[in-house]
A and B are shown apart, each in its own frame.
Chain A
């Protein structure tokens, strides 16, 4: 037994952390190379327990990183794969493990859910049965909003407060609608109908200042619209649509709005838009490119070529990195500031189907979720490229949309007509 222990090589490991509350002394520990993350976790908890004598120490789970990459195997395999030797001191960073998201609620719809967007107290979903739904995070259905003549493909909040909110929806019927919702009366009215697109509107995004929004169309056109009451719209009552009569209350007030700006450049369907700055939009398209547009000059600033059809983008305002889900199995992390062809920083491969949606965490720069046609929603850490942190099952069909704009809720909707709410519980912000 002793000879066996002696036969195992040892390596010096130094632990450090950026979470100051869990900091320990900077001492290297000599560990046998065959330890795994569970043993490291035990060791670290032991050290911390010894340090936290005066306060009660509750056992925590930690994740371990080396050179910005998660340790998922035991040290031997990691050292071998990195080409390291046991001579060197392994500097291991540890972070508190992200707690597992808990499935909180499932919102049943009548048809496929193609779009979802949430505020802390409201969830907005768009459906393939041409309706928009308003839910509370508790799972109670507030309102069904008919109005579109085609499947709703995208929704986004313009503004929301305790009195209600304003949001925009994009649909296959080539229009976008700006809706005004009053919480007290629980009444909805279509403030504006935005016309101008000649094919189905695939995506819509409101900018950070809530004054403008951008929409992308199947024919590759990018249009910028104003959210304001009196801007950019030609006040013309909208009455030529036959089906619009269903919403008589809305119809009287809804005014057709025309785009502030139309940007052509993409050769094929524009599938996703993100606002990277106040005057800057980044778009992903079926023509395999990501383009950034300067709205002041209306010029295409940058074109990043990809290899596959892009289905969704997500922009992180804190790290200035772009995530893309595409029509292969990969989630890609882009740095649009890099001018040459090495814009793809890393590729996350775990899904087995098209990645239809990606979303950064609103408060943690390292976390994001991705939903795929393989029915799985995955929670990722940027530093772990091959293994996601958690797989969130529950959907029985393709996931078409996901949202993580509220730190507590990861929301996904799919072709199984449900919206699943996962609680990102106990996450220390």
Chain B
């Protein structure tokens, strides 16, 4: 219907224009017809009836034309009315088509300009007769062919009656020129190629041409952008636009669609139609930068990814300046020295020089050489990223197992053995672990029951007990104690009665077997009868004070130390023969301690700084251990015999692996004060050190059967309990032979059991 409106407006225009034309000149009404037809052409699909009606009315007009222009006007007006009536019927809903239609009009107009220009020069007479809405051009019926084909003919085509249209006579160049000169309308005269006539364009035509050239609507009066109300917008309306109820059709499902769907469904069910395979959405790219198979690309890639910039040159300093401070200038001596130096060893490879001003600085002669060397450097020295090693301090500490994984070891003080009235100097546990003996400064030796803390026996002696040692032979019940310058052997009478009696018997037998051999230094004596009853059996009298007494593991030999005795400070005694001997001709220093190897015939003699290991069978020095400390206090040997620990008064504890080296395998400095005693456990991998700071430190010392594996030493526990008395703390410590318990003798007059 929009087309109809359009049509109508164009008709209105045409009519008014025609009227004007008729009033002025009757020259070219065909043009308007052309125009009109074109419009009609464009619109006839949408509303044929209207346009036809108007056309026929116009055709009717043509009949009585020429004579009466007013009449035609009136008919025109009637057609106008008709179209106006039609327009009233237009539905609002068709209005939105209007714009599109207008565009269409525009384009048609532009394309057809040539054709209507061609059809300008048609004979005026025939104009209305030949006019038809159906035909493109009714004045020349040759059709849409190139008109050059008629160049050789006198006619130019045929009219609708079949008569030839004769080419009009054309003047020569002179005529043209004259015409140009004389005719004021020459500039607006165009030639209609269809008919060969020349047409003079009217002002209206020119307007239209100008409008078209400007890309506007040909009709000047037409405004395409009239204001209008947009009924249909994207906004959702509350109320319907029309009051009409919705058609019933819209509620009924479409039967045709249903059929179509069921057909497709059936096809799918039968497998005739396969559902579309979903497309693989993942985009496929060719990875240009992926790791190539060849090593060259890998190296290239590495170079690209890990680019190492060239090292920068040193920035020029004062020396390089053209006017250096005087201190940078070389003195003649320095210059001479520089010249004598090898070029590689020179600190700077030029001599700083002073110039009054920059312009007097000469060219640098070594420039090429320098650049070359620099390039050579860059080329020949492969640049590599320096790998920084992150070393945390914790990582440097060796990994040690946690103490709680190394149980059992003594942890708390369970029993305190109270009875002594002065420093308890020494303790020694019976081989089975039921009793132990302690010697004190209060001139007593006490025998205790380990399990209950009961003092079973107290033996009075003549002096302070320096050392005490229970005979390791399980068939003997014998304790050796060093008191002043004597060593007392006593039978405590504990344990098996038979053994105790047997011990007495062997001691008696030893006398009868071999006579007492007086070695000069030591005198073996039987004790008087009244002392015999209390348990004393034998007395060895020395010249000097005895500080140490230690048994061989077999229980027949024991060794004593008299530090002040010089050459005869170490004495070996044989119990069964009551014989003493001095193994060394010459003293090697102040002997601190002696020790028998548990299985082999070795004797360890600890002097202040060294421990010497003697082979008693071969009578030679086997080894000399460098303790690396100032004053050795005590020595203990591992029950397997390959490891020795040495405690010293300068707080150190050294662990020696005899197979490994004569230097300490490990030195422990845990104590704050002098170490008095060190001790190994017979069964458990434990060792302990007793110190003057009142503590005993228990360490886990695992010796592996595998000789390649080094011993594992872990300090596990500091045992506190003893009080420091007169700058003395724990004076002796010894492990229980079977349990992981530790007995310690303190300067606070007590012995403590740590379990």
Residues of B within 8 A of A128 (CB): 454
A151/B454 in contact, CB under 8 A: yes
With known contacts A268-B738, A398-B452, A415-B452, A199–B414 Cβ distance under 8 A: no
Most buried by A among B456, B498, B739: B739
* A373 in the interface (beta carbon within 8 A): yes
Residues of B within 8 A of A112 (CB): 452, 454
Residues of A within 8 A of B451 (CB): 311
CB distance from A177 to the nearest CB of B (A): 15
* B453 in the interface (beta carbon within 8 A): yes
Interface residues on A, range: 20 to 34
Residues of A within 8 A of B454 (CB): 112, 128, 151, 415
Knowing that A198-B498, A200-B495, A415-B452 touch, tell me 6 more A-B residue pairs with CB under 8 angstroms. A151-B456, A198-B496, A218-B434, A286-B739, A307-B408, A354-B415
* A272 in the interface (beta carbon within 8 A): no
* A256 in the interface (beta carbon within 8 A): no
* B247 in the interface (beta carbon within 8 A): no
B434/A353 in contact, CB under 8 A: no
Contact with A along B492-533 (1 / 0, CB 8 A): 000111100000000000000000000000000000000000
Most buried by B among A114, A309, A400, A415: A309
Residues of A within 8 A of B434 (CB): 199-200, 218, 269
Q: Please list 25 pairs of residues, one from A and one from B, whose beta carbons are closer than 8 Å in the complex, sorted by A's number.
A: A114-B452, A128-B454, A151-B454, A151-B456, A173-B497, A174-B497, A199-B434, A200-B434, A200-B495, A218-B432, A219-B432, A268-B433, A268-B738, A269-B434, A286-B739, A287-B738, A311-B451, A327-B414, A327-B739, A327-B755, A354-B415, A354-B755, A400-B452, A415-B452, A415-B453
A328 CA / B755 CA spacing, docked (Å): 8
CB distance from A289 to the nearest CB of B (A): 13
A287 CA / B497 CA spacing, docked (Å): 24
Which residues between 350 and 399 of chain A lie within 8 Å of chain B, taking CB atoms? 353-354, 373, 398
CB distance from B693 to the nearest CB of A (A): 26
With known contacts A151-B454, A398-B453, A373–B739 Cβ distance under 8 A: no
Closest to A356 in B: B452
With known contacts A199-B434, A328-B755, A174–B452 Cβ distance under 8 A: no
Contact with B along A71-114 (1 / 0, CB 8 A): 00000000000000000000000000000000000000000101
Residues of B within 8 A of A327 (CB): 414, 739, 755
A199 CA / B452 CA spacing, docked (Å): 17
B739/A309 in contact, CB under 8 A: yes
Closest to A269 in B: B434
- Pick from A286, A311, A398: contact of B738, CB below 8 A: A286
A307 CA / B755 CA spacing, docked (Å): 12
Rank and list the top 9 A-B pairs by shortest CB-CB distance, nearest first: A198-B496, A218-B434, A268-B738, A354-B414, A199-B496, A327-B755, A174-B497, A128-B454, A309-B739
Contact with A along B397-433 (1 / 0, CB 8 A): 0000000000010000011000000000000000011
A31 CA / B356 CA spacing, docked (Å): 106
Closest to A200 in B: B434
Residues of B within 8 A of A311 (CB): 451
Contact with B along A281-302 (1 / 0, CB 8 A): 0000011000000000000000
Residues of B within 8 A of A398 (CB): 452-453
Residues of A within 8 A of B456 (CB): 151
Residues of A within 8 A of B452 (CB): 112, 114, 398, 400, 415
A210 CA / B434 CA spacing, docked (Å): 31
B residues sitting closer than 8 Å to A (CB atoms) are 408, 414-415, 432-434, 451-454, 456, 495-498, 738-739, 755
- Grouping DSSP codes into helix (H, G, I), strand (E, B) and loop, the B interface class, with mixed when no group exceeds half, is loop
CB distance from A136 to the nearest CB of B (A): 27
Residues of B within 8 A of A174 (CB): 496-497
A2 CA / B433 CA spacing, docked (Å): 69
A286 CA / B738 CA spacing, docked (Å): 9
Residues of B within 8 A of A268 (CB): 433, 738
With known contacts A174-B497, A268-B738, A199–B415 Cβ distance under 8 A: no
Residues of B within 8 A of A353 (CB): 414
A199/B755 in contact, CB under 8 A: no
CB distance from A207 to the nearest CB of B (A): 26
Residues of B within 8 A of A354 (CB): 414-415, 755
A287 CA / B739 CA spacing, docked (Å): 8
A268 CA / B451 CA spacing, docked (Å): 13
Contact with B along A235-247 (1 / 0, CB 8 A): 0000000000000
CB distance from A197 to the nearest CB of B (A): 9
Residues of B within 8 A of A199 (CB): 432, 434, 495-496
CB distance from A345 to the nearest CB of B (A): 23
A174 CA / B495 CA spacing, docked (Å): 9
Most buried by A among B451, B454, B496, B739: B451
CB distance from A216 to the nearest CB of B (A): 13
CB distance from A149 to the nearest CB of B (A): 8
A218 CA / B755 CA spacing, docked (Å): 19
A151 CA / B453 CA spacing, docked (Å): 13
A147 CA / B498 CA spacing, docked (Å): 19
A287 CA / B452 CA spacing, docked (Å): 17
Residues of A within 8 A of B739 (CB): 286, 309, 327
A193 CA / B179 CA spacing, docked (Å): 177
Which residues between 252 and 310 of chain A lie within 8 Å of chain B, taking CB atoms? 268-269, 286-287, 307, 309
A151 CA / B454 CA spacing, docked (Å): 10
Residues of A within 8 A of B755 (CB): 327-328, 354
Most buried by B among A151, A174, A200: A200
Residues of A within 8 A of B498 (CB): 198
CB distance from B634 to the nearest CB of A (A): 28
CB distance from A122 to the nearest CB of B (A): 25
Closest to A397 in B: B453
CB distance from A123 to the nearest CB of B (A): 21
Closest to A218 in B: B434
A373/B495 in contact, CB under 8 A: no
Which residues between 112 and 131 of chain A lie within 8 Å of chain B, taking CB atoms? 112, 114, 128
Contact with B along A403-415 (1 / 0, CB 8 A): 0000000000001
Residues of A within 8 A of B415 (CB): 354, 373
Which residues between 202 and 217 of chain A lie within 8 Å of chain B, taking CB atoms? none
Residues of A within 8 A of B453 (CB): 398, 415
A286 CA / B736 CA spacing, docked (Å): 12
Residues of B within 8 A of A400 (CB): 452
Contact with B along A218-249 (1 / 0, CB 8 A): 11000000000000000000000000000000
Closest to A111 in B: B454
A286 CA / B740 CA spacing, docked (Å): 12
Which residues between 126 and 147 of chain A lie within 8 Å of chain B, taking CB atoms? 128
A219 CA / B497 CA spacing, docked (Å): 13
CB distance from A262 to the nearest CB of B (A): 16
Residues of A within 8 A of B433 (CB): 268
A373 CA / B738 CA spacing, docked (Å): 21
Closest to B497 in A: A174
Closest to B739 in A: A309
- Pick from A198, A200, A286, A373: contact of B414, CB below 8 A: A373
A200 CA / B434 CA spacing, docked (Å): 9
A325 CA / B456 CA spacing, docked (Å): 24
CB distance from A297 to the nearest CB of B (A): 29
Residues of B within 8 A of A218 (CB): 432, 434
CB distance from B754 to the nearest CB of A (A): 12
Most buried by A among B433, B452, B738: B452
